[in-house]
Structure 1
Amino acid sequence: MAFGGLAAAALAGCSSVGPTDNLVARKLTWISYLNGDDLRAACTKGEGTDRYRLVFNADYNKHVRAYDVMGDRSTGGAVVEARVLEAADITRIDLNDPAAVARGPVDRVQLTPRQFAIFVLKLYESGAFNPAPSGMRLPSNGVYWLVNGCRRGNWFFNAYPYPSDRFADVRFDGPLRELDHTGVPFPPLPRLAQPNLDGAPRTLPTGGRIDSAGPLFEVEVGRDGLVGPTAPFGRWLFAGGG
């Protein structure tokens, strides 16, 4: 019974409950977090507040930015929580908090009703509320935006791989850059080969499952979320796998 209880607790912990600074929990729930499982579970018409999540992946093992946006019904504005996750630099380790270097900076900013309205408009102009392009596969060492959330009780999910017209037509990155006070600049976009027919660049090295920085994996986009189970570990399609 004790083992069963521990196993159940471990599995329950593999479903994302939102952004976290716990490194182990973040790795176990990353696919669930990407899929917005916690936001989807709370998305009910007529209840709750609007929630948005935007993740910029510029090689999972090197640079990821995550933005969680929560609307405030009382003011008409919102709160943006920005996180930057980068490859750990051992020269920056604080012996009083060794894990801080891997957590990355976190910044919170309050949006006025006008700023929030502009942000939502830019999502609309980027096609975020349209159906996602099913079948797209996003490699962990590639570059892409993935967005999801709950707007007026309606769930939405979309993806923007680089290089592609979808990525080039993104309009929400401007407001996010202006609101981002983490102090960490966006990395320059890499020069990549032409994308595949499914719109996602193939940058994973052939025959390898792990590079020097960590594991390589892919996630597949469906019409309204990632394909396959996202908790506990999601559908990780490792490089070289079938």
Structure 2
Amino acid sequence: MAASLLALAGCTSAGPTDNPAARKLTWFSYLNGDDLRTSCGKDGTDRFRLIFNADYNRHVRTYDVVGDPERGGAAVEAHVIEATDLARITPADPFSAARGRKATLQLSAAQYDSFIGRLREDGAFDPPPHGLRLRSNGFYWLISGCRSGQWFFTAFPYPSNRFIDAGFPDLLRGIDPTGAAFAAPPEPEEAPRDLPSSGQSADGGVVFELQAGPHGLAGRTGPFGALLLSTLPEN
């Protein structure tokens, strides 16, 4: 598991990718929006990244939204990464089962305005709850980006009213171009409260914990950055 975690910490993200090796090497940097932060305010373009974690080893989906400052509207690139599906393996691409699904969509100016309004109403431009820790086997949304030249970062953990009352997931369901169903969270009382034990993760999956701050993930997420993979605090 340690080797897998080191791989996840390896490099700085350059954006979304369906290459499974590159995805592992840049995952924490991608979660932290390092590439979006670097470009923020330099070209007048608004960029948003929404990531839904429904147990990292089972179901993850991402949406990268890039606004068009001249014509209005925005381009959306969506990825859905699920537990390896052997039925998707093809002889021409042995990594096809791990690539996930990728699809793109163009939002009209009206759709884009509705998207921004929905994020604002849900508090997506507000900082995350103080001291928030997110477990890889849990359910949560991470949202980051650059809006009007200003960086923002937030999280919607489950179970919480912030997660349950948010309206942007329904908006995304309505426009999602991948055709993949959203993973449903468990009942609140059944939501994971601890990381799985070594025996429970013997299937080769990786486990980790993130700590979200007002401006991003705590700790370094770039090349060989220190990961927040310490033992969970007692509940």
Normalised by the length of structure 1, the TM-score is 0.86
The answer for unaligned runs of 5 or more in structure 1 is: 1-9, 196-200
Larger CA deviation: 72-81 vs 114-123: 72-81
Q: Is the 8 A contact 1:209 1:239 kept in 2?
A: no
Q: What's the CA shift string for 1:209-241, capped at 9, x where partnerless?
A: 944241110110011100000112555333647
Pair 1:217 & 2:199 matched: no
Which residue pairs with 1:236 in the alignment? 227
Aligned residue among 20, 25, 28 for 1:31: 28
User: What is the aligned length?
Assistant: 226
CA distance in structure 1 between the aligned counterparts of 2:224 and 2:66, rounded to whole angstroms = 26
Q: What's the CA shift string for 1:70-126, capped at 9, x where partnerless?
A: 001121100111100011122321111121211111111110000000000010011
Q: Is the 8 A contact 1:93 1:101 kept in 2?
A: yes
Q: CA deviation at 1:38?
A: 0.3
CA distance in structure 2 between the aligned counterparts of 1:233 and 1:58, rounded to whole angstroms = 26
Pair 1:79 & 2:75 matched: yes
Larger CA deviation: 205-214 vs 123-132: 205-214
Aligned residue among 141, 144, 148 for 2:144: 148
Q: What's the CA shift string for 1:136-184, capped at 9, x where partnerless?
A: 1100010000000000001111001111111012121122111112111
Letter paired with 2:84 = A
CA distance in structure 2 between the aligned counterparts of 1:170 and 1:104, rounded to whole angstroms = 26
Pair 1:14 & 2:11 matched: yes
Superposed, 1:143-182 pairs within 5 Å as 143-182=139-178
Matched position secondary structure for 1:29: helix
Q: Is the 8 A contact 2:52 2:141 kept in 1?
A: yes
CA distance in structure 1 between the aligned counterparts of 2:52 and 2:22, rounded to whole angstroms = 19
Which residue pairs with 1:198 in the alignment? none
Aligned residue among 180, 202, 219 for 2:193: 202
**CA gap 1:141/1:97 in 2 versus in 1, 3 angstroms:** same
CA distance in structure 2 between the aligned counterparts of 1:233 and 1:64, rounded to whole angstroms = 23
Structure 1 runs (4+) greater than 6 angstroms displaced: none
Q: CA deviation at 1:187?
A: 1.4
Letter paired with 2:115 = F
Letter paired with 1:217 = F
Matched position secondary structure for 1:24: helix
CA distance in structure 2 between the aligned counterparts of 1:44 and 1:171, rounded to whole angstroms = 27
CA distance in structure 2 between the aligned counterparts of 1:194 and 1:233, rounded to whole angstroms = 35
CA distance in structure 1 between the aligned counterparts of 2:124 and 2:199, rounded to whole angstroms = 33
Pair 1:127 & 2:112 matched: no
CA distance in structure 1 between the aligned counterparts of 2:224 and 2:16, rounded to whole angstroms = 16
Q: Is the 8 A contact 2:87 2:97 kept in 1?
A: no
The answer for unaligned runs of 5 or more in structure 2 is: 1-6
Which residue pairs with 1:94 in the alignment? 90
